[in-house]
Amino acid sequence: MDYLKILNKYKKLILIFTILVTFFSFLFAYLKPPVYNVSIAFTIGRTSQQETSDYQYDSYYAIRASELIGETIQSWFMTPSVVLEIYKEADIAPQIKDLNSFTGKFRTKKYSAQNIVLRFSERDYTTAERLSRAILKKIPEKAEKLNKNSKRETLFNIEGSLPVIVAYKSDIKIVTAVGFITGILLSLFIAYVIYYFKE
């Protein structure tokens, strides 16, 4: 197969197609609104010391208890009913398409026994801010009910950090460059397919 002959024969098609794909890639990146990424850290702190007839909580038991509470907090963000509570608190329609995407919106990572970081993304700042406020209210409330001793004393305090909300917008140069390369490859493929069927 004479590749140079094909390139020369379909150079206009290759050029036009590449320009179009590059232009639409640029347009997509330019017009696409920013996404707001949110990060909230939760710190699990010990507020009181529990005594029993067998032993007194020391550092080991405190850390272990913190881990269990942290795991519970993480599980809440994978529980549809809890996520729905957060949306109701924020007064935002949840728009549930399927349960996996609904609960998969929130991502958590435990960096230590007492430090959990929550991340999620929204398409507008107001929604991101309202959800953040709802989370900072609901999670400590639920945790407080969970970690009380027999005397109804709260053993651990769950404190949420100030939400960090950062706007992210696609890099126009990178998207345009990727569009340019994609346009060339696709146009070459189309040219070879046309040549093959004509032959």
Tens digits of residue pLDDT in 106-141: 999 999 888 999 999 999 999 999 999 999 999 998
Per the prediction, the chain carries an average pLDDT of 85
pLDDT tens, 179-190? 999 999 999 888
- The residue-averaged pLDDT of 59-74 equals 80
pLDDT of residue 148: 60
Would the pLDDT of 32 be above 70? yes
What single string gives the DSSP state of each residue in 145-167?
A: HHSB-TT--B-EEEEEPPPEEEE
Beta bridge partners of 2: none
Q: How far is CA 192 from CA 8, 15, 18, 197, in A?
A: 12, 14, 15, 9
| Of 181, 193, 182, nearest in space to 10 by CA | 193
Least confidently predicted of 25-34, 43-52, 126-135: 43-52
pTM exceeds 0.85: no
Long-range contacts of 62-71, Cβ-Cβ distance < 8 Å, separation of 24 or more: 63/113, 63/114, 64/113, 65/147, 65/155, 65/156, 66/113, 66/114, 66/156, 67/110, 67/113, 69/44, 69/143, 69/146, 69/147, 69/156, 69/158, 70/42, 70/44, 70/110, 70/113, 70/114, 70/116, 71/110
| Separation between Cα atoms, residue 144 and residue 135, nearest integer Å | 14
Write the single-letter amino acid at 2: D
pLDDT of residue 54: 44
Would the pLDDT of 51 be above 80? no
Q: pLDDT over 70 for what percent of the chain?
A: 85
pLDDT of residue 151: 57
Would the pLDDT of 53 be above 50? no
CB distance 116 to 73 below 8 Å: yes
Least confidently predicted of 17-26, 142-151, 158-167: 142-151
Q: pLDDT over 90 for what percent of the chain?
A: 49
pLDDT-based confidence at residue 57 (cuts at 50, 70, 90): very low
Q: How far is CA 49 from CA 56, 72, 154, in A?
A: 8, 21, 10
27: three-class secondary structure by DSSP: helix
pLDDT of residue 149: 54
Would the pLDDT of 55 be above 50? no
| Separation between Cα atoms, residue 126 and residue 130, nearest integer Å | 6
